[in-house]
Structure 1
């Protein structure tokens, strides 16, 4: 069976599964690269002719090109998923990708935000205009809810309730997030300024809007986050959505939330993902189960 044909069928399978645009883009890019390698470097055009040695050679090829271990592991997850699907469809007898040893990812201790730094970033924005109020609300929600960048950008106004937020996460999986009183106070002011700013103007249904009244772009959100770090004078740490999720996670655990509940709040399908995510927090598994507590309420 031609590799080209199988990859095309797999692409439609992934579309039917409802993967996000970003996930589809990453899958297509990586599978396109390995297809090009197998055809042009190894002379393989048939799926059945691919061996474990070919896949191991591809990993070595990626290593020589300078790709970091973490990137190789992330990349190969998509390749492994493809071969796993081929096995289920009985196009191959076994998933040969599962027999490939991957480089060990060095354990990196993430230097997270302190409560003081988060407080300074939130308070670096005012309520003097729509954009100041919007940016303050974005930073506050990132820190107090631990949302992903795509979840903040795609958040709809109808899903922000009185005390909860309905989040549409990875794989279109929905989850409910609690709105603390501290965050609610900021959101109330933001919504009032937003409604006044966009009065009689056409807008999308997104909760956070660009100056055009549309969804904030990836670059636009990144600029907001970097501006918060700049205003707060944070120079020794990368200011990113990931760091806010880390702050949220660590704060929740230190305030008594169990890791199983935290895993659900973060939108992780498996608790092992949460454990890897929090590898910088020593002995977090020893923290006893208790009621969840808001990071902002403890600033």
Structure 2
């Protein structure tokens, strides 16, 4: 069976699963490189001829080219996913990536945002113009709901309801997050200003957050407004990104007493280990508060009542 044909079939399989455009772009790029390597360097054109030795050589070539360990691991996941699909489809009997050893990644602890910093970034935008109110609402929603940048950009007006938000995450998986009264107050103001702003302007689509021209926001635009908020708030020596607001949401939720399984669902994580990594950066002072509030002896009287 021609490897090129199977890769094309797998691409359509991924499209049918509604993978994001970014994910599809990464997959196409990776599989194009893999196919070229196997054909030109190893003389392989048939799927059944691919062995773990060929794939080890492919990974080794990436390492020699200077690719960082994280990039090699990410690339290898794409390759392994393809061959695992081939196993499920019974095109091959074993996944040749199973015997490929990947570089170990150092554990990196995230340096999280503080509540003071989040408040500063929110308050760096005023309540006078549409863009200022919109940007404040986006910062508030990311910190209070833990949404990804592309999820914020892709929200539709009907997705933001009275007390909750319908979110379509990675792989177009649907989940529900909830609107606190504090966030609701900010969203009500945003919706009022948005309605006034677009009263005599063209609104090109039904996205919840719109660019000033009435078009949908891009993921890059969400990133840019976070960078602007950081600069306005005077935060230095710390990387601030939309992802850091997800981390902030996770830490604050745990501090408030949510269990990790519920938190994983709210974040849209397919693997609970990802959620656990978010929480490795809890400060000792925060752990102290958690330990005290969950102390068996401290809770004896509560149980007796």
TM-score (norm 1): 0.92
Between 39-48 and 281-290, report the one with greater CA deviation.
281-290
- What is the match of residue 216 of structure 1? 217
Unaligned 5+ residue runs, structure 2? 295-305
- What is the match of residue 261 of structure 2? 260
CA apart distance, 1:282: 7.2
- What is the match of residue 237 of structure 1? 238
Higher Rg: 2
- What is the match of residue 297 of structure 2? none
Q: Does 1:51 align with 2:51?
A: yes
Return closer, same or farther for 1:91/1:285 CA change in 2, 3 Å cut-off: farther
- What is the match of residue 96 of structure 1? 96
Between 49-58 and 255-264, report the one with greater CA deviation.
49-58
CA apart distance, 1:285: 11
- What is the match of residue 170 of structure 1? 170
CA apart distance, 1:189: 0.9
SS of 1:206 mapped into structure 2:
coil
1:38, 1:54 within 8 Å by CA — same for their partners in 2? yes
1:225, 1:240 within 8 Å by CA — same for their partners in 2? yes
- What is the match of residue 65 of structure 1? 65
Over the aligned positions, Cα root-mean-square deviation in angstroms equals 2.0
Partners in 1 of 2:283 and 2:91 — Cα distance? 44
Partners in 1 of 2:280 and 2:111 — Cα distance? 11
Partners in 2 of 1:78 and 1:282 — Cα distance? 34
CA apart distance, 1:218: 2.3
Partners in 2 of 1:269 and 1:285 — Cα distance? 26
Partners in 2 of 1:94 and 1:279 — Cα distance? 36
Return closer, same or farther for 1:54/1:246 CA change in 2, 3 Å cut-off: same
Return closer, same or farther for 1:103/1:140 CA change in 2, 3 Å cut-off: same
Partners in 2 of 1:16 and 1:161 — Cα distance? 28
Partners in 2 of 1:264 and 1:285 — Cα distance? 22
Partners in 2 of 1:182 and 1:66 — Cα distance? 48
TM-score (norm 2): 0.90
SS of 2:138 mapped into structure 1:
helix
- What is the match of residue 296 of structure 1? none
